[in-house]
Structure 1
Amino acid sequence: MKSPLRFALNRMVAPDLALADFIQMAKALKCDAIEIRNDLKNREIEYGMPATRVRELCAAQGITVLSINALYPFDVWNDERRAQALELATYARECGAQGLVMCPFNEPGDTRTDAHRAAALRTALSELAPILREYGILGFVEPLGFEVSALRRKRVAVEAIKSIGGLDVFRVVHDTFHHHLAGEHEFFPELTGLVHISGVEDRDAPLNAIGDGHRVLVGEGDILGNAVQIDTLLSTGYSGYLSFEPFAESVHGLADIQQALGASIAHLQKP
């Protein structure tokens, strides 16, 4: 039997909203989970809000912190990345987050071969696993479907996780945008820890020209097949959250983001 839809809000939904107001919006929409980020100016981690304060605000409203988004580039392991991982793991544990989203190197000019990238991925996962175990959190590995990404497909992530014995602490993120962009057809519901959802409605843009700026809320005009992707995940055993993650400025500038989110939720809930 298919699981009911459980929605969460990534801070990217409304990056300019104060955390307390963001939490209130989540509660009003009957979303009992959120994701916070470390890449937003003047918000949470960057601004210096104590992790204990984040925990207090969420606990008061019965809100779960699913993740901190994100450790980047997690697959380029060095002393700087270790320090960053420890800092984020500490914050995650103290704010009550279940895990840490991990994104791969995603910039032009990467001259490494696939073999070198695969080796670097395994090294990073091997180094991160004991940190995650020590801090009691999960690592949510998020393949990015862009052509320049060092890790585009979930299959590669899953095989690397298995190869280093990391099934206890690693899960993959199924992002409906990146799944479509990578031309991926495989689903891994049993190893999916989190689903990011966003829509794209620009039918004229070539696939390799679609970027984060195209990512809006999921509606009737969606070309990513969100409804089908979600149905496939839920009907094959995934029972976790669907977290809204629109990057488009057109969404961030909406006069009533709560109403727009409510409409998107209603659209996805239609039988």
Structure 2
Amino acid sequence: MIKRALNQKTAPHLSYEAFLDLAKTLGCVGVEPRNDLGRGLFDGISPPEAGAMARERGLRLLGLSEVYPFNDWSAERAHAIEALIDAAAESGAETFSLIPRVDGKYTEDGARQKVLCRVMREILPMLDGHNLLALIEPIGFASSSLKEKVELVEAIEAVGGLTKFKLVHDTFQHVIAGGGRIYPEYTATVHISGISDPQRKLDETLDAHRILVDRGDRCGTLDQISAFLEAGYQGPFSFECTSPRVQESATLEDDIRRSFEFIEASFAST
């Protein structure tokens, strides 16, 4: 069994409470609530109460999402990060997520690395006194200011952030970035999803078409999960699906359960 988890992007139409109930029913270890679903984080429930609701169901608040674009630094960005840190601390969440800009800016070699390190140094003191990790997710789009996980690992080491920063490995983003090495020891969460459309190029245009993992998956999700498990990774694998086909399904619970079971059966047979 993998450690099942659920990102709220996969079930954005459910209330926070219903989302927690879904995760519990599916045997998840925890959840990732979001603040970008067109309504307040936790549906406006206070962070302490939201955290208690999760723990009452035996669930961890694995992380809160998100601040974007975190590496376009400003007073507004700093305030957004501080607010998410406060919500994470008050709710008992373990991490919060930071997403790099993907608008084609800060993509020049040399400049993008300097910007990344400078912003991470700004964030480091915000984490003082908190038992909390800042997670950064490399995005594989051509327009992304942070595609390569190796650059993030180098930045974590350069700023002395080994105990404060980790990365999110996303199986879709990994593929469209060209694949390459994974970094289990630097990874706190693995986001999983699938692309099964055989006709379309694997690129950023398919981001909105990410579905549950099935035998037609073209992202090599099973191979990526296997690589993490073989390397000793013990963190969660969290479904983050963006396709309305998944999100609006009338049988969402059964759909997710079948996909988790498909993944686990694939490893049981090897």
Please tell me the TM-score bracket, short chain as reference.
over 0.9
Count of equivalent residues: 266
d(CA) in 2 for partners of 1:217 and 1:265?
A: 9
Q: Distance in 2 between matches of 1:137 and 1:208?
A: 33
1:166 pairs with 2:161:
yes
Alignment map for 1:53-202 (pairs within 5 Å): 53-108=49-104, 110=105, 113-202=108-197
Cα offset, 1:134, TM superposition: 2.8
1:113 CA displacement: 2.2
Assess if the C-alpha contact under 8 Å between 1:133 and 1:169 holds in 2: no
Q: CA deviation at 1:111?
A: 6.2
One-letter code aligned to 2:12: P
**Residue equivalent to 2:7:** 10
Percent identity for Structure 1 against Structure 2: 34
Q: Which amino acid aligns with 2:89?
A: R
Equivalent residue letter for 1:38: N
Q: How many angstroms does 1:49 deviate by?
A: 2.2
Maintained 8 Å contact 1:174/1:196: yes
Report if aligned partners of 1:153, 1:184 keep a CA contact under 8 Å in 2.
no
- Per-residue Cα deviation, 1:100-157 (whole angstroms, up to 9, x for no partner): 111100124x265222111110011111112123332101110001111100011110
Q: Which runs of 5+ in 2 are unaligned?
A: none
Higher mean displacement: 125-134 or 196-205: 125-134
Query: Structure 2 CA distance, aligned partners of 1:43 and 1:5?
Result: 30
CA RMSD of aligned residues (A): 1.3
What is the TM-score of this pair, normalised by structure 1?
Answer: 0.95
> Per the alignment, do residues 155 and 184 of structure 1 end up closer, same or farther by CA in structure 2, a change over 3 Å counting?
same
Mapped contact 2:176–2:204 kept (Cα < 8 A): no
Q: TM-score, normalised by structure 2?
A: 0.95
